[in-house]
Amino acid sequence: MRKLSGYPGLVVGVVGVAMALYHVYARLTWYAPDNLALLVITLAFSLVLS
């Protein structure tokens, strides 16, 4: 597993935490987004991290 240091590591960590918090929010809220919107958001997060 590659460990990033410095600014790139910070950016990847922040995006990863934001993605995790968003998925918890989307699961627990009554106003969850539809499946297509959730798929697009998850894909966008994954592309940012790759």
Comparing 48 with 17, which gets the higher pLDDT? 17
- 19 in any annotated domain: yes
Round the CA-based radius of gyration of the chain to a whole number and report it: 13
- In angstroms, the CA 48 to CA 9 distance is 13
- 2 in any annotated domain: no
Question: pLDDT tens digit string along 16-47?
Answer: 888 888 888 877 877 777 778 878 888 887 88
The number of distinct structural domains making up the chain is 1
Task: Identify the domain containing residue 36 by its residue range.
Answer: 7-49
- 26 in any annotated domain: yes
Look up the pTM and report it.
0.63
